[in-house]
Amino acid sequence: MSSNMGGSSKGKVTNTGKPLGSIKHTQSKAVKSWIKNELKQQTTRFKKILEHMDEIAPKRDKWIADFLETITTRGTNIDGDLRNVIDKEDLPKKPKRKFRVTYESKDLKGFKH
């Protein structure tokens, strides 16, 4: 039995990764040009976002530290004046990797329309 993704139950394998019988859409040169231009603009925007996220990294680290301090001392509000204080041992450890706010521009490589 086939999963119907790139193969058929008749033994014919298409190896396209698309469902059998999927419609092949044609795109005009204007549409292809628009998609290419749009992708270029998005890549530029995301690079600016990533630069900004790197610039505010010290602020973000302080915000996170303040938040963790608050939930270990005052706690979080559960209902009315009922609060839940979290033990410092239960806090997550800071990961060794770089803080990732949004996906990176390298994730756009290989993106095909």
3-state secondary structure of 83: strand
Residue (of 111, 102, 109, 6) closest to 50 by Cα position: 102
The CA–CA distances, whole Å, from 77 to 36, 81, 86 equal 48, 7, 11
Q: Is 88 a domain residue?
A: yes
Sign of the alpha-carbon dihedral angle for 67, 71, 74, 78: positive
Q: Which domain holds residue 47?
A: 29-99
Is 47 within a domain?
yes
pTM higher than 0.75: no
Is residue 55 included in any domain, yes or no? yes
| Listed range (75-84, 90-99, 101-110) with the worst mean pLDDT | 101-110
Instruction: Supply the pLDDT for residue 10.
Output: 56
Residue 113 resides in a domain: no
Tell me whether residue 51 is in a domain.
Answer: yes
> For residue 2, what pLDDT band results from cuts at 50, 70 and 90?
very low
Structural domain count of the chain: 1
Q: Is residue 90 part of a domain?
A: yes
